[in-house]
A and B are shown apart, each in its own frame.
Chain A
Amino acid sequence: MQRKSSNKIQPKIGSEFNYDTEYIGKKKFDPRSVVCDASSLIALTDTGLLGALVMIESKMKGNLLITKGVIDESVNTPIKRPEYAFSAIRIKRALKSGLFEIIDYDLNTYDRILRATNNMFYTDRPFHLVNHGEAEMLAAALDNRINYVLMDERTTRMLIESPLELKKHLENEFRIRINVNQEFFDDFKRLTDGIKVIRSTEILAIAKEHGYFHKFQDMEREAYKAALYALKFNGCSISYEEIEELAKQ
């Protein structure tokens, strides 16, 4: 099915990031490195808060890691659209400045994750929940022995942290009874045991503790809380209740 662009004339704004010339290759990373998902990078950039990630990176033991797929999603695809190009350029600038290391993954791990996530729940057929983007990021974390993923997306986070709650939600939404394929369910659980999900809001909370909002002087607390809301309204899956808890920290 051909999908037509909404604009007849697409002004050329930016060029793609060429990861083939920039790819570092296999390298050992500190396990306290963080694999970044496009959802968090987009939320941080669109709210003008990428600086918080830059600040955190300077204090990290490990590195901020990114896959080629995430580069495509957050830079190379949106840079061609004028409405998203500036955000994409900001991430591209961060890439070129060395904020992120590019990492790879084994296709076998990637396949295993897709198989587990898309077969663990079924009705008369398996429930295909997850696609390339999330599977690639998790595969990269596992193959590089990294325990932390920066991700604002809700479904994959719930699959890692609370899969049965996700199952219950799917049942309520689709009004069907869902069965669990225990083999795939247990395999995914084994694979992701030890993975900790961080959101852009937690990055902001840590940055705040290190003085990121000092520049707002007497408005420091307000600015911090407003920034948390800004992240939520730009797609970070955090509730109002959690924001209030973080704002108290």
Chain B
Amino acid sequence: MAKDVNEKKSDNKTIECIINIRTAFQKYEIKDLRDITKQCEKYVLVDEQLFFHSALLAYILSKILQKSRYRTPDLYQKVIIKLNEGVEFAKKSDEISLLRTIDDLLTYITDFDEHNKRYIIGLIEKGRTKIAASLYAQGLSLSRVISITGAQKQEVLNYSGKTVMSDRVGKTIGAKERLKNAKEIIE
């Protein structure tokens, strides 16, 4: 059965995404991995699970390249093997296997992080928060981004509060009028 145009576009984006992640990681291109995270965020509404996990993976790999404690041959080799597998699955449009591969890799990194972490909040959770906050700033609701990313609401509110998202967009009713409305509850 012929795929519709939108499905084909999504497949192409998926292949491009995972190949770019692999290339950037192999070349130690931290900035490129960050850019890929942002690009994948834009596609989250096309395919939530796939592009969220790709965004998370790109973000985590950018962090791994930055920290010397993560630069071990075992971890590096595991990442490359899994990324190669992921590329093959993407080329076959096997989304389920691709997601499983990304999940395996994130699980491996989580376990690795448990033995080496410096903060209560692990690398993966930090990634979830960052992406959730970004999607919230872009206009999705808080519970929507929590449902996509699995981040903690408190962490997302805390993170977003320290950005200028509400200064850029969100001024609707003036402060005086809003306060006047609020005072109606005690009149």
Which residues does A use to contact B, with CB under 8 Å? Answer: 1-4, 6-8, 32-34, 38-39, 42-43, 46, 56, 59-62, 73, 77-78, 81, 83-84, 87, 124-125, 127-134, 148, 152-158, 161-162, 165-166, 169-170, 173-175, 196-199, 202-203, 205-206, 232-242, 245-246, 249
Contacts and interface: CB of A to CB of B under 8 A. Distances in A.
B179 A235 contact: no
B45 A174 contact: yes
Report, as a range, how many residues of chain B touch the other chain: 35 or more
Given A234-B158, A235-B160, A240-B167, A4 B136 contact: no
A232 B161 contact: yes
Nearest to B181: A196
Contacts of A42: 153-154, 157
Nearest to A126: B45
Interface stretch (B20-28, B86-94, B169-177): B169-177
- Interface of B, secondary structure class, is helix
Contact of B141 (A4, A7, A32, A131): A131
A130 B172 contact: no
A169 B144 CA distance: 17
Interface of B: 6, 42, 45, 49, 53, 99, 103, 107, 110, 114, 117, 120-122, 124-125, 136-144, 146-147, 150, 152-154, 156-158, 160-162, 165-167, 169-176, 178-179, 181-187
A143 B152 CA distance: 29
B171 A134 contact: no
A63 to B, nearest CB: 10
B118 to A, nearest CB: 12
Contacts of A197: 178
Given A124-B6, A133-B143, A56 B157 contact: no
A113 B31 CA distance: 41
B61 to A, nearest CB: 18
Contacts of B6: 124-125
Given A1-B103, A245-B176, A246-B175, A239 B45 contact: no
